[in-house]
Amino acid sequence: MTLQNYTLVVIEDDPLVNMTVKEILASKYARVHAFLDANQALNEMNDVNPDLILLDIFLGHFNGLDILENLRNQGCTTPVIMMTAFSDIKMAVRAMKLGAEDFIIKPLDLEQLEVSVERSLRNYDLRRQVDLLSEKLKEEVPSEIIGNSEGIMRALEMGKIVASADDTTVLILGESGTGKELLARYIHDNSSRAKGPFVTLNCGAIPRELAENELFGYERGAFTGATEKVKTGKFEQAQRGTILLDEIAELSLELQVKLLRVLQERSFYRLGGSKEISVDVRVIASTNKDLEKLVEEEKFREDLFYRLNVARMILPPLRERGDDIITLATSFVNTFNKKFGKSIKGFTPEAVDIMKNYGWKGNIRELRNVIERIVLLESDELISKNSLSFLKMSSNSHVSSVASVPVSQSANSNVPASTQAEEKPVKLEAGEHLLKISDTGVSLASVTKDLILQTLEITNGNQIKAAKLLGISRAKLRYRLEQLGINLTTKAGS
């Protein structure tokens, strides 16, 4: 019989029990160290480095529970099975609270001992595998939000404030690929719920008829094929943690009603169940849709919108983040250098210019995929213009000298003052516009911001009139004001 490659330590001051346990375990495991003296065992523990400890509670001058507590305080995570001749419930409870893996009573049932050891070792291996996978996942998936642009710093600042209130519902808005899930995890990790689970559900990725099952779970007989006695849903899985409802706009109106009740009551019924389930979770919702417009179109419940819109955060698109594009790209290059065994050192000036002026419709997700492709195929040390030749530059954020929105000279900080002074004001007819930018370009955010400010100036700050002139809803205008950080004192009636 091949011995299993584990190291076990037995600390038992009864010579007969000590020898019996050692012989039983030595028949299955490669290394078994048995100690009659607890002090000697503790002195040699680091050298032995056991995978499992069997520890008697009463050891002469030593108490096994105190030893267990000291081991845990020192950071020892090795599973410990406690042994005692006294069937004391309080003692067993204390042992479990201190982190004991199991608690068995003397005289030892040898079959029970073997089962307990096998189960403890198996659980320990599983925990270590989970820890390794978690570390690997952290390496492969960005664990922090990278960037110093104004919009990102504003989002992070707001995130810290929101994280400090562990029950506040959060609504994160932003285009697809801007990092909404990453921001949600940032809030979770910086909150008092950080040790709890972080559960995500993409509301647009599951069939509508299965969405209720996913959210709230079900009980046996709830529908054809529901054979499990109880199937927990995402809300139960997120107990004492955070649940992210991604693409919340995709939920059916019927489910929106049920979600509203959960947000109000913090309780729900499983599908087919009769018992009310209470949960303690923070809800974060995210979407790339304009929820206020959907409310106006009666495609999203107004009461649910207001319940979600407690702390609203907006993530800017990548094309409006300036130098963050290169910072993120550099981070991705380092990641894929390790993955593919490459040593790419950076970008040529032409490549930097292309990347900073590309449209990035898929935002950070698209940038990551582009860099992965380039690093995989690139043979030079620098990423050049040719490396990016596959990008469709029709998405370029540079605009021509004639466009559909006006920009004031104040937005054109790169135009020489003398040139600005020489320009004569042009009178525009109804529906006409004029846009002039410098040769080095201008960000779309600056153009949009200037357009809104000029329109509000025409309407004397009346947002209703401004929205009408711009051909958008008032809700859409408010969204843009918040997104661009425009703070206004509106006139009465606006």
Residue range 372-385, pLDDT digits in tens: 999 999 889 999 99
Alpha-carbon distance of 42 to 257, in angstroms, equals 59
Higher pLDDT residue, 202 or 136?
202
List 170's β-bridge partners, or say none: 284, 311
Report the Cα 112 to chain-centroid distance in Å.
42
Torsion-angle region of 324 (φ positive above 0: left; ψ -120 to 50: alpha; else: beta) = alpha
CA dihedral 335, 340, 341, 344 (to 10 degrees): -60
Q: Give the confidence band of 76 by pLDDT, cuts at 50, 70, 90.
A: confident
Q: Provide the pLDDT for residue 462.
A: 86
E strands, 380-444, in order: 382-383
Q: Provide the pLDDT for residue 419.
A: 37
Q: Provide the pLDDT for residue 418.
A: 37
Q: Indicate whether 429 pLDDT > 80.
A: no
Q: Provide the pLDDT for residue 334.
A: 92
Token readout for 134 is: 């978690």
Mean pLDDT of 59-66: 87
Q: Average the pLDDT over each of 55-64, 182-191, 359-368 and give the range with the smallest value.
A: 55-64
Backbone angles phi, psi at 232, to 5 degrees: -75, 145
Total residue length of the chain: 494
Q: Indicate whether 349 pLDDT > 90.
A: yes
Ordered DSSP codes for 125-145: HHHHHHHHHHHHHHHHS--S-
Q: What is the pLDDT of residues 238-255, one digit of tens each?
A: 988 999 999 999 999 999
Token readout for 246 is: 């991604």
Torsion-angle region of 272 (φ positive above 0: left; ψ -120 to 50: alpha; else: beta) = left
Report the Cα 454 to chain-centroid distance in Å.
39
Q: Indicate whether 86 pLDDT > 50.
A: yes
What Å distances lie between residue 68 and 8, 101, 488, CA to CA?
A: 16, 11, 62
Q: What is the pLDDT of residues 158-189, one digit of tens each?
A: 999 999 988 899 999 999 999 999 999 999 99
How does DSSP classify residue 494?
Answer: -
Q: Provide the pLDDT for residue 321.
A: 93
How does DSSP classify residue 433?
Answer: -
List 52's β-bridge partners, or say none: 8
Q: Give the confidence band of 275 by pLDDT, cuts at 50, 70, 90.
A: confident
Q: Give the confidence band of 489 by pLDDT, cuts at 50, 70, 90.
A: low
Of 354, 348, 347, nearest in space to 398 by CA: 354
Higher pLDDT residue, 434 or 315?
315
Alpha-carbon distance of 314 to 309, in angstroms, equals 12
Q: Provide the pLDDT for residue 395.
A: 39
List 59's β-bridge partners, or say none: 62
Mean pLDDT of 90-115: 89
426, exposed or middle or buried, with CB in 10 Å at 0-12, 13-18, 19+?
exposed
Higher pLDDT residue, 273 or 344?
344
What Å distances lie between residue 99 and 106, 114, 120, 134, 455, CA to CA?
A: 20, 20, 12, 22, 65
Q: Give the confidence band of 402 by pLDDT, cuts at 50, 70, 90.
A: very low
Which residue type occupies 96? M
Alpha-carbon distance of 53 to 287, in angstroms, equals 50
Q: Provide the pLDDT for residue 221.
A: 65
Q: What is the pLDDT of residues 278-327, one digit of tens each?
A: 889 999 999 999 999 999 999 999 999 999 999 999 999 999 999 999 99
Q: Provide the pLDDT for residue 410.
A: 32
Name the percent of the chain lying above pLDDT 90. 48
What Å distances lie between residue 367 and 143, 177, 318, 333, 491, CA to CA?
A: 17, 9, 9, 11, 42
Q: Give the confidence band of 224 by pLDDT, cuts at 50, 70, 90.
A: low
Structural domains of the chain, with CATH: 4-137 (3.40.50.2300), 150-314 (3.40.50.300), 318-395 (1.10.8.60), 409-483 (1.10.10)
Mean pLDDT of 444-465: 85
411, exposed or middle or buried, with CB in 10 Å at 0-12, 13-18, 19+?
buried
Q: Indicate whether 427 pLDDT > 60.
A: no
Q: Indicate whether 404 pLDDT > 60.
A: no
Of 131, 130, 113, nearest in space to 29 by CA: 113
Q: Provide the pLDDT for residue 171.
A: 96
CB atoms within 10 A of CB 393: 12
What Å distances lie between residue 365 and 141, 157, 372, CA to CA?
A: 12, 23, 11
Alpha-carbon distance of 127 to 389, in angstroms, equals 46
What Å distances lie between residue 380 and 90, 353, 383, 384, 406, CA to CA?
A: 68, 19, 7, 9, 43
Beta-carbon contacts of 400 under 8 Å, excluding residues fewer than 6 positions away, are: none
Beta-carbon contacts of 397 under 8 Å, excluding residues fewer than 6 positions away, are: 319, 357, 358, 359, 441, 443, 444
Alpha-carbon distance of 134 to 131, in angstroms, equals 5
What Å distances lie between residue 198 and 138, 336, 378, CA to CA?
A: 14, 26, 37
Q: Provide the pLDDT for residue 276.
A: 86
Average pLDDT score over the chain: 83
Q: Give the confidence band of 432 by pLDDT, cuts at 50, 70, 90.
A: low
Mean pLDDT of 356-364: 92
Q: Give the confidence band of 420 by pLDDT, cuts at 50, 70, 90.
A: very low
Q: Indicate whether 391 pLDDT > 60.
A: yes
Q: Provide the pLDDT for residue 423.
A: 43
Mean pLDDT of 479-487: 80
Per-range mean pLDDT, top range of 85-89, 268-272, 341-345, 406-410? 341-345
Angle between helix 324-340 and 363-377 (nearest 10) = 40
Alpha-carbon distance of 445 to 319, in angstroms, equals 9
Q: Provide the pLDDT for residue 195.
A: 86
Q: Provide the pLDDT for residue 422.
A: 42
Q: Provide the pLDDT for residue 298.
A: 92
Q: Indicate whether 134 pLDDT > 50.
A: yes
Higher pLDDT residue, 428 or 103?
103
Q: Provide the pLDDT for residue 175.
A: 93
E strands, 37-149, in order: 52-56, 58-59, 62-63, 80-84, 102-105
Torsion-angle region of 323 (φ positive above 0: left; ψ -120 to 50: alpha; else: beta) = alpha
Which residue type occupies 307? R
